[in-house]
């Protein structure tokens, strides 16, 4: 296991969801070079709602049918977008963002949250980082169940 996933697992010992995910967003921001946003969106009340994050202020509410985050929710699948400007319906919370990695957190078959990373350069995210964030999403899903996290 790599260092970022070890750190994320350690933060998930924290039973408070906001505290744990706040530290995880900071951990990602510190460990990945050249990113400008790291955070979470929660599937809540029929839309995606901003959770803990690091970076500039972000979109607070995202409809399930809009943007990269909406596609991640609908497909329950990773979206690794090399050029967000060519993604139909991209939502530009930060006009400096050029690439994005969005990973669903699946609990009992439902997308309950997403890890969302943005970078100010095209083609920033690698297959390795995608795998690391998929592992993080699995670990976060386990914490949801272990700690009985609710929105």
- For 40-73, how does the pLDDT look when each residue is reduced to its tens digit (9 = 90+)? 999 999 999 999 999 999 999 999 999 999 999 9
Distance from chain centroid for Cα 9? 16
Cα 74 to Cα 79: distance, rounded to the nearest angstrom: 11
CATH level 2 (architecture), domain 3-147 = 2-Layer Sandwich (3.30)
pTM of the model: 0.95
Predicted confidence (pLDDT) at residue 39 exceeds the cutoff of 80: yes
The confidence score (pLDDT) of residue 100 equals 95
Rounded Cα distance between 103 and 125, Å, is 12
Both tokens assigned to 149: 């996290």
pLDDT tens for residues 79-113? 999 999 898 877 777 778 899 999 999 999 999 99
Average pLDDT (10-34) is 97
Q: What is the pLDDT of residue 99?
A: 95
């Amino acid at each position: 296991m790599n260092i970022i996933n070890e750190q994320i697992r350690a933060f998930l010992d924290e039973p408070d969801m906001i505290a744990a995910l706040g530290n995880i967003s900071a951990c990602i921001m510190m460990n990945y070079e050249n990113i400008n946003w790291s955070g979470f969106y929660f599937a809540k009340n029929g839309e995606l709602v901003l959770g803990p994050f690091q970076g500039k202020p972000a979109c607070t509410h995202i409809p399930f049918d809009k943007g990269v985050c909406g596609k991640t929710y609908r497909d329950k699948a990773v979206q690794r977008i090399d050029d967000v400007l060519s993604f139909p319906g991209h939502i530009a919370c930060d006009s400096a963002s050029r690439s994005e990695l969005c990973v669903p957190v699946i609990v009992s078959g439902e997308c309950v949250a997403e890890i969302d990373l943005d970078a100010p350069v095209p083609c920033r995210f690698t297959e390795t980082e995608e795998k690391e964030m998929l592992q993080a999403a699995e670990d976060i899903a386990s914490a949801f169940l272990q700690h009985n996290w609710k929105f």
